[in-house]
């Protein structure tokens, strides 16, 4: 009887371990591209980068959102009491225009939609709509989750909240009109943060990693990974908060920009395919 009980307990523990392994390794979340793992038989392309230009970036900017239009960068920054919306000159990093959020709000992602700029906040569940030219606050809206990143495809807003889900919102009413689950093979990806819509794909920064996922807005499938490791030399990263978090795309000139929280540099990069077989 004792042996039977011991065997039963052993089998029970083993089954729990298998279940946990399955959940974490097959349907769990990760911040490292599953397709870069030699144990995964995925064929998702992986890209590295070539630095085209380096521009100055405000070392005090806790970058949460980034956008580019008509020669200028627009940047949303975070931290309680220090959050802002900015218009920035690309060439020298000078802040040309700024709106400071009320102290109770922690600023998050931004996107430009027509003649407006839309900005999320982290845990307040409140978003702001500004006049793009004057930065005058036009209105507020609410959402039921945390706010992380936001972009748009010209018809819908696309929002992240730190989970594996991306939400599609009506740009006028801000009502949810759809959603997708982001996955690479059978792995569901969480920590989807800063977003940018680039040539029919959603680019999503994976928080606390140097990877950007390229995502199909139709299926949620990861169509590629961008490996930006070592783009900012380690000597410029003073602590764990100094992470990659800023993607902007120049649609007129096909230029891609990336930066991070408290980074002293902003990079214009060109993507270079490399084999997904590591």
130 in a structural domain: yes
Cβ–Cβ under 8 Å, residues 118 and 149: no
Residue at 88 is within a domain = yes
Is residue 12, in this structure, part of any structural domain at all? no
The answer to the question of residue 22 being in a domain is no
* CATH classification at residue 228: 2.120.10.30
Question: Is residue 15, in this structure, part of any structural domain at all?
Answer: no
User: What is the count of structural domains for the chain?
Assistant: 1
Q: Which residue range is the domain that position 207 belongs to?
A: 31-274
User: What confidence score (pLDDT) does residue 236 get?
Assistant: 87
3-state secondary structure 73-132: EEEEECCCCCCEEEEEECCCCCEEEEEECCCCCCEEEEEEECCEEEEEECCCCEEEEEEC
CA nearest 199: which of 217, 176, 212? 217
162 CB-near residues (< 8 Å, 6+ apart): 146, 148, 190, 191, 192, 193, 207
Q: What is the pTM of this model?
A: 0.86
Kindly state whether residue 7 falls inside one of the protein's structural domains: no
Is residue 188 a part of any domain in this protein? yes
pLDDT at residue 26, as a whole number? 33
Instruction: Write down the pLDDT at residue 240.
Output: 73
Q: CA-to-CA distance for 35 and 214, rounded, in angstroms?
A: 12
Q: Is residue 20 a part of any domain in this protein?
A: no
For the chain (278 residues), the mean pLDDT of every run of 10, in chain order, is 49 40 35 60 84 97 98 96 97 98 98 98 98 98 98 98 98 98 92 97 95 97 94 85 94 98 97 69
The conformational region for residue 64 under phi > 0 = left, psi -120 to 50 = alpha, else beta, is alpha
Residue-level pLDDT at 186: 83
């Amino acid at each position: 009887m004792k042996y039977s009980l011991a065997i039963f307990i052993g089998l029970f523990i083993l089954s729990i371990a298998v279940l946990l392994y399955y959940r974490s390794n097959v349907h769990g979340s990760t911040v490292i591209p599953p397709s870069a793992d030699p144990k995964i038989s995925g064929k998702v392309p992986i890209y590295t980068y070539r630095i085209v230009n380096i521009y100055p970036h405000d070392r005090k900017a806790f970058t949460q959102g980034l956008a580019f239009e008509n020669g200028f960068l627009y940047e949303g920054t975070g931290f309680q009491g220090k959050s802002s919306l900015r218009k920035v000159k690309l060439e020298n990093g000078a802040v040309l225009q700024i709106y400071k959020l009320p102290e109770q709000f922690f600023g998050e992602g931004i996107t430009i939609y027509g003649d407006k700029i839309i900005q999320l906040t982290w845990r307040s569940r409140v978003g702001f709509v500004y006049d793009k030219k004057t930065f005058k606050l036009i209105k507020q809206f609410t959402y039921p989750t945390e706010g992380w990143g936001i972009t748009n495809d010209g018809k819908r807003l696309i929002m992240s909240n730190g989970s594996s889900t991306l939400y599609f919102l009506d740009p006028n009413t801000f009502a949810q009109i759809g959603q997708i689950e982001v996955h690479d093979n059978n792995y569901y990806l969480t920590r989807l943060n800063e977003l940018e819509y680039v040539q029919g794909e959603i680019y999503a920064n994976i928080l606390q990693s140097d990877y950007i996922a390229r995502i199909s807005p139709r299926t949620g499938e990861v169509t590629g990974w961008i490996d930006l490791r070592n783009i900012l030399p380690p000597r410029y990263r003073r602590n764990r908060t100094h992470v990659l978090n800023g993607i902007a795309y120049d649609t007129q000139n096909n230029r891609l920009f990336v930066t991070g929280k408290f980074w002293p540099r902003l990079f214009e990069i060109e993507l270079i395919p490399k084999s997904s077989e590591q």
